[in-house]
Amino acid sequence: MIRFLRTTVCGALLAASLPAMAIFTNGGFESGDFTGWTQGTGLNNLGGLTGAQPFTGASINLGAGGTFTGAVVGSGYTELATAPITPIPFAGAHSARVGDTTPNYNTNLISQQDAITAADRDPGDNKLHVRFSYAVVLEDPGHTAAQQPFFYLRVRNITKGTDLYEDFSFAGQTGTAFQPVPGNPGVLYLNWKPADVVVPDADLGDTIEVYLLAAGCAQGGHYGYAYLDGFGSRAIPPGGGGAVAPVPTLGELSFMVLGLLLAGAGAVSLRRRRG
């Protein structure tokens, strides 16, 4: 009986220690490709952004076409525009690059939808988090704001139709922390920027989407691209070890406590028999 109890408890503890998968599938791109992600293209050839500043996702006005030139890059990768984006990869062995230095109105995007679960809860504050990092490289040809290369990043609750996070900037936009590439001031870069999206508890179980787009200029001669990496419920520092293992859910924690209680009961029973 004691042997059976020990086997049962060990099995229970092992099962409880196995981490559930946190949002998103292949969020560190450690598969070496875009598994789990939807890729898309477009052409910024319809006159550029619409409406007045500040621009939002509703301002994007793309035509059909384009070529997907993005890639999942590793430690042997040399940054295309020699912008000092460091480290590459941001964490683990791979990061995603969305787009490249191809002009001709080219626009690339990647997106993914997944359910937010208890595995995305940070034990430090007991809140649901979607954390990740991104970096951007844009040529700055000095066009009008609506015709500049740009990037757009959004985290959206698809179930409720609400935006949880949005970042939109065109090349040279005032208030964005772009820096000129040393020796090439016509190219601007934004080094890895951490994003921490706190998801309301009321959204638990809802479908969350992350969407990243990088576009060349609306005159066809200049490029824009971006990087994405490091998804997890807890922050991953630059150069960190890739995907963060999520903490057990409350149900799993209860299961672990039950296992410990069973182990204690078994030990007491054994002592009594020996006594």
Domains of the chain as residue ranges with CATH = 20-248 (2.60.120.260)
Distance CA 22, CA 192 (A): 22
pLDDT for the residue 242: 47
Long-range CB pairs of 9-13 (<8 Å, 24+ gap) are 9/259, 9/260, 9/262, 9/263, 9/266, 12/255, 12/256, 12/258, 12/259, 12/262, 13/256, 13/259, 13/260
- Amino acid 53: pLDDT: 95
Please tell me the predicted confidence (pLDDT) of residue 275.
52
Counting Cα atoms < 13 Å in the Cβ hemisphere of 93 gives: 5
pLDDT at residue number 159: 98
**Low-confidence stretches of the chain (pLDDT beneath 70):** 1-21, 240-275
Question: Is 3 exposed, middle or buried, given 0-12, 13-18 or 19+ CB atoms closer than 10 A?
Answer: exposed
Q: Output the pLDDT for position 22.
A: 80
Nearest-angstrom CA–CA distance, 215 and 32: 24
3-state secondary structure of 85: coil
The pLDDT value recorded for residue 241 is 57
Global pTM exceeds 0.85? no
